[in-house]
Amino acid sequence: MSDITMRAATAADHAAVWEILRRVFRAGETYAIDPGISQGDALAYWFGPGREVRVAEVDGRVLGSYYIRPNAEGGGAHVCNCGFVTAEAAQGKGVARAMLAEALDRAARSGYLAMQFNFVISTNTRAIRLWEMAGFAVAGRLPGAYLHPTLGYVDALVMYRSLRTDLAPQPL
């Protein structure tokens, strides 16, 4: 485990975040995003309205980023949604785990009562394992909802975790 510094992303991080997004989006294996998305559109998406964006630094290099936002408006605004990306160089350094831990903590402190991932591609087993270890449950399964570039139609999952500590283990 390396020393990982978590901090708010700024405009100065756009190039580094794009390098990470580019590989992830181009691969088309984990995000329902056009694999040919431009740098401008990708950054506009990641840093979109209502999103708080954080980065994870190891030895002064940005190796991961995540956003947190309300998953819905009105009566749904107490549930947040996050997206996570890591650089290839982040592997084995605990970056994904550190980002998730911070995201859960920040979400709870911000008053969110639950965190939801809307579209987890079922072949993304490493992420699913991490999230299940962190208390997320599969709340839904969407049959064939994702066309994987090499595996064809695969399921997508909806994953959900309560952030209320006063009522554990049942949600909300």
Residues binding a copy of itself: number (CB under 8 A): 40
Compute the least distance from the CB of residue 131 to a copy of itself, in Å: 15
Interface pick for a copy of itself out of 3, 73, 88, 166 (rule CB under 8 A): 73
**Could you give the count of Cα atoms lying within 13 Å of 30 in the half-sphere of its Cβ?**
17
Is 158 near a copy of itself (CB under 8 A)? yes
Is 123 near a copy of itself (CB under 8 A)? no
Euclidean distance between CA atoms 146 and 31, whole angstroms: 9
Q: Tell me the window of 4-12, 57-65, 77-85, 94-102 that interacts with a copy of itself (CB under 8 A).
A: 77-85
Tell me how many degrees the CA angle 99-147-136 measures, rounded to the nearest 5: 35
Interstrand relation of 114-121 and 79-86 (parallel, antiparallel or unpaired):
parallel
**Inter-residue long-range contacts of 105-109, CB under 8 Å, 24+ positions, other chains counted:** 106/52, 106/54, 106/68, 107/68, 107/80, 107/82, 107/163, 108/163, 108/165
Q: Tell me the window of 8-16, 96-104, 124-132, 138-146 that interacts with a copy of itself (CB under 8 A).
A: 138-146
Asked if 26 and 82 touch (Cβ cutoff 8 Å), the reply is no
Q: Per-residue string for binding with a copy of itself, 30-69, x by CB under 8 A?
A: -xxxxx-x--------------------------------
Tell me whether residue 14 or residue 78 sits nearer to a copy of itself (CB atom).
78
**In sequence order, which residues have a C-beta less than 8 Å from that of residue 58 and are 6 or more positions away?**
2, 3, 4, 5, 90, 93, 95
Tell me whether residue 17 or residue 159 sits nearer to a copy of itself (CB atom).
159
Binding site for a copy of itself (CB under 8 A): 25, 28, 31-35, 37, 72-79, 113-114, 116, 118-119, 121, 139-149, 153, 156, 158, 160, 162, 171-172
